[in-house]
């Protein structure tokens, strides 16, 4: 990722992004909406979140769903709908496979790799931001339900200038 795009992500987050990132999904304005991490920080520390939601409008919308208690409804659906639970488990397994394919060297995540995922997968719903990001980048049934509940994002325009660090690379 070039300095300009990393600057866009920093503008969206309000801080410099950690670790190596790549843009996984862009918004209608061509700006990053979801970034994919390498699975490790520069010092080799494991970073479990593979897909990270960076669009400020989407971040606020997912946060609003979390604040409304929607996660409990999604967990109830997982308990009551075997097909949804199976699809969620498959999304978790794909997430692990993808993350492990990008990771190299350094310390491993605590616990068996097959149980450490993001957003509460495969049995809970903990972070809608991670699940929405996963759905936008690949596919996640709970992320998809959250996106349906959010509805169309009302983005008034680009959230960051096209060159957020300026021509001289200032921060």
Residue-wise pLDDT for 122-143, tens only, equals 989 999 999 999 999 999 999 9
d(CA 54, CA 35) in angstroms, rounded, equals: 7
Hey, which of 50-64, 114-128, 154-168 has the most confident mean pLDDT? 50-64
- Output 39 or 28, whichever has higher pLDDT: 28
Is the pLDDT assigned to residue 106 strictly greater than 80? no
What pTM value is reported for the model? 0.87
d(CA 68, CA 166) in angstroms, rounded, equals: 39
* Helices within the chain (DSSP H only): 3-13, 56-67, 70-80, 82-102, 128-137, 141-150
169 — pLDDT class (breaks 50, 70, 90): very low
Tokens of residue 123, six digits: 């049995």
Mean pLDDT of 55-71: 96
40 — pLDDT class (breaks 50, 70, 90): confident
Residue 165: what pLDDT? 56
Nearest to 97 by CA among 39, 24, 52: 39
Q: Where are the domains of the chain?
A: 3-150
Residue 105: what pLDDT? 53
Hey, which of 17-21, 76-80, 93-97, 155-159 has the most confident mean pLDDT? 76-80
Tokens of residue 79, six digits: 């308990």
Given the DSSP bridges, would you call strands 51-53 and 32-37 parallel, antiparallel or unpaired?
Answer: antiparallel
Mean pLDDT of 60-83: 97
- Percentage of the chain exceeding pLDDT 90: 63
Instruction: Give yes or no for a cis peptide into 122 (omega within 30° of 0).
Output: yes
d(CA 136, CA 119) in angstroms, rounded, equals: 14
């Amino acid at each position: 990722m070039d300095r300009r795009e990393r600057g866009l992500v920093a503008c969206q987050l309000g801080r410099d992004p950690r670790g190596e990132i790549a843009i996984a999904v862009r918004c209608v304005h061509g700006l990053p909406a979801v970034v994919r991490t390498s699975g490790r920080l520069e010092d080799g520390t494991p970073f479990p979140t593979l897909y990270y939601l960076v669009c400020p409008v989407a971040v606020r919308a997912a946060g609003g769903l979390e604040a409304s208690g929607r996660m409990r409804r999604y967990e109830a659906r997982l308990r009551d709908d075997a097909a949804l639970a199976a699809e969620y488990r498959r999304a978790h397994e794909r997430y692990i496979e993808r993350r492990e394919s990008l990771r190299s060297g350094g310390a491993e995540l605590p616990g068996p790799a097959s149980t450490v995922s993001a957003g509460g997968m495969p049995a809970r719903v903990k972070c809608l931001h991670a699940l929405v990001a996963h759905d936008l980048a690949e596919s996640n049934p709970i992320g998809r339900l959250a996106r349906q509940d959010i509805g169309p994002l009302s983005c008034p325009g680009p959230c960051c200038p096209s060159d957020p660090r300026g021509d001289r690379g200032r921060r």
